């Protein structure tokens, strides 16, 4: 009887909060603004916030770039669980590192964030197929993009999708903090408490 | 107080059934996540046709990546918008469906896609169409005098792969 009461109390009181495990985030091999090849595997062990942009992006990118910059300015760079902020460029052509770097400097993406590029088809598979984020060029060549940010944990699991109306900086920081706490504390017996929190959908 | 032996048995059975049902509801609610529609996946019916406010303002099928599509379908008396969807065979498509006015249903014949469509609520289902052909879409929730005229079609077009393998 006691275990049953404990389970019901846990489900009712929700002493731990976790973010849902949505699905595996897409794998990729892209190039950053310094010409380095970057794979999704390199992001393991750290929390990654993905955003999408392009060098000619207008209205569709308004807000998300500023939000990423705001988050970058407020995250704890000394945390034992590193947080990486990554922008993926949706340009029609794979950008050369010099152009990518110039754009990153121009938009203030350097040095706190990474900007990744790749072949258009490859990027489409990652962003459209993997992150389920729609974008295309209209007849006038303008980028049409659904505003979205993606939060991926250190195991490569997508934990939050921010679509449409973008969230506040504090909401993203809260989610990053939840992932940080989970990564930091989910060991030994506490791990079972976190698994119970997932089982009972203890979401914020 | 004297209680007949058989009545005692049936009282115990009744209590047992109540306990089982209570546990089943608790398990379904807090563990399996089966619950009535919540805030997530809702849309304001008043803004549904406002451009920019909702993807159903311009219902359409969009290609996310090769072989992967999403369809924003708006149900209203007495039609589906878009009424015809074309995708290549082997494509995975996710349907996001809502209603502009009253309760509707969406059933795609010869598939397991079967949704109730409520105003303000987004219904979502994903499926893969492997076989080329025309799939009829019908409303299977009575929605008024023109209910029987509410239908659409999904046309799954053969690709080079499917035509050579069949």
Across the interface, do B70 and A134 touch by the CB < 8 Å criterion? yes
Residue B162 reports pLDDT greater than 80: no
- Delineate the domains of chain A, giving CATH numbers in brackets: 20-198 (3.40.30.10)
Specify whether the CB–CB gap between A117 and A31 falls below 8 A. yes
- Contact: B30, A132; criterion CB under 8 Å: no
Quote the pLDDT of residue B48: 86
Q: Does B37 have pLDDT greater than 60?
A: no
Alpha-carbon dihedral angle through residues A201, A191, A150, B29, given to the nearest 10 degrees: -10
Architecture of the domain delimited by B45-165: Sandwich (2.60)
Question: Which among B31, B64, B70 is the nearest to A199, CB-wise?
Answer: B31
Residue among B149, B137, B79 nearest B109 (CA): B137
Write the pLDDT tens digit of every residue in A115-136: 898 888 999 999 999 999 999 8
**B44-88 pLDDT, tens per residue?**
888 888 887 788 888 999 999 999 999 999 999 999 999 999 999
* Chain B residue closest in CA terms to A132: B64
Q: Is residue B13 over pLDDT 70?
A: yes
Backbone angles phi, psi at A139, to 5 degrees: -60, -25
Listed residue (A146, A125, A126) closest to A135, CA to CA: A146
* A125 inside 8 A of chain B by CB: yes
Distances from the Cα of A142 to the Cα of A101, A124, B110, angstroms: 22, 16, 39
- Rounded to two decimals, the ipTM of the complex is 0.78
Taking CA B22 as the corner, what is the angle to CA B17 and CA B28, rounded to the nearest 5 degrees?
A: 125
pLDDT over threshold 80, residue B131: yes
Q: Do A128 and B68 touch (CB under 8 A)?
A: yes
Q: What is the pLDDT along chain A (204 residues), one digit of tens a residue?
A: 777 777 777 777 677 889 999 899 999 999 888 888 999 999 999 999 999 988 877 777 778 888 888 888 888 777 788 999 999 988 877 777 777 788 777 777 766 788 898 888 999 999 999 999 999 888 888 888 888 999 999 999 999 999 878 889 999 999 999 999 999 988 888 888 888 888 877 888
Burial grade of A131 (CB within 10 A; 0-12, 13-18, 19 or more): buried
Contact A200 B30 (CB under 8 A): yes
Residue of B nearest to A10 (CA): B30
Nearest CA in chain A to B92: A129
Cross-chain residue pair B65–A129, CB shorter than 8 Å: yes
For residue A110, what pLDDT is reported?
Answer: 66
Determine whether the interchain pair A200/B64 forms a contact, defined as Cβ–Cβ distance below 8 Å: no
pLDDT at A111: 67
**Distance from the first to the final alpha carbon of chain B:** 77
Residue written as tokens 């799954």? B156
Say which residue the tokens 């939060």 belong to: A151
Q: Choose between B143 and A141: higher pLDDT.
A: B143
Q: What 3-state class would DSSP assign to A72?
A: helix
CA–CA min distance B64, chain A (Å): 4
pLDDT at residue number B81: 92
Closest by Cα among A28, A64, A25 to A146: A64
pLDDT value, residue B34: 60
Whether residue A85 contacts residue A77, with contact meaning beta carbons closer than 8 Å, is answered with: no
User: How high does pLDDT run on average in chain B?
Assistant: 87
pLDDT at B32: 63
Q: Would you list which residues of chain B are within 8 Å, Cβ to Cβ, of chain A?
A: 26, 30-31, 33, 62-68, 70, 94
| Nearest beta carbon to residue A134 from set B31, B62, B66 | B62
């Amino acid at each position: 009887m006691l275990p049953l009461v404990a389970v019901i109390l846990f489900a009712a009181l929700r002493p731990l909060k976790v973010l849902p495990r949505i699905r595996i985030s897409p794998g990729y091999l892209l190039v950053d603004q310094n010409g380095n090849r970057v794979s999704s595997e390199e992001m393991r062990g750290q929390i990654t916030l993905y955003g999408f942009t392009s060098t000619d992006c207008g209205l569709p990118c308004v807000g998300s770039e500023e939000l990423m910059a705001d988050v970058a300015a407020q995250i704890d760079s000394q945390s034992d669980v590193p947080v990486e902020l990554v922008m993926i460029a949706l340009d029609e052509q794979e950008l050369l590192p010099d152009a990518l770097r110039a754009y990153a400097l121009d938009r203030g993406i350097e040095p706190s964030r990474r900007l990744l590029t790749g072949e258009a088809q490859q990027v489409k598979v990652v962003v459209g197929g993997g992150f389920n984020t729609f974008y295309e060029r209209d007849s006038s060549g303008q980028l049409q993009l659904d505003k979205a940010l993606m939060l991926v944990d250190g195991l490569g699991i997508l934990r939050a999708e921010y679509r449409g109306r973008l969230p506040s900086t504090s909401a993203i920081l809260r989610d990053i903090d939840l992932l940080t706490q989970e990564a930091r504390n989910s060991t030994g017996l506490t791990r079972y408490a976190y698994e119970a929190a997932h089982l009972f959908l203890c979401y914020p | 107080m004297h209680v007949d032996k058989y009545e005692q048995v049936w009282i115990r059975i009744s209590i047992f059934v109540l306990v089982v049902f209570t546990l089943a509801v608790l398990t379904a609610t807090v563990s399996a996540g089966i619950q009535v529609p919540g805030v997530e996946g809702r849309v304001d019916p008043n803004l549904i046709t406002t451009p920019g406010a909702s993807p159903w303002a311009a219902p359409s099928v969009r290609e996310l990546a090769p072989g992967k599509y999403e369809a924003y379908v708006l149900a209203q008396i007495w039609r589906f918008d878009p009424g015809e969807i074309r995708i290549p065979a082997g494509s995975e498509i996710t349907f996001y469906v809502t209603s502009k006015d009253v309760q509707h249903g969406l059933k795609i014949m010869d598939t397991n896609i079967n949704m109730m469509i409520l105003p303000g609520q987004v219904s979502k289902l994903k499926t893969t169409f492997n076989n080329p052909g025309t799939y009829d879409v019908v409303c299977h929730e009575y929605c008024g005098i023109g209910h029987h005229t509410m239908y659409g079609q999904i046309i799954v077009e053969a690709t080079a792969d499917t035509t050579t393998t069949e």
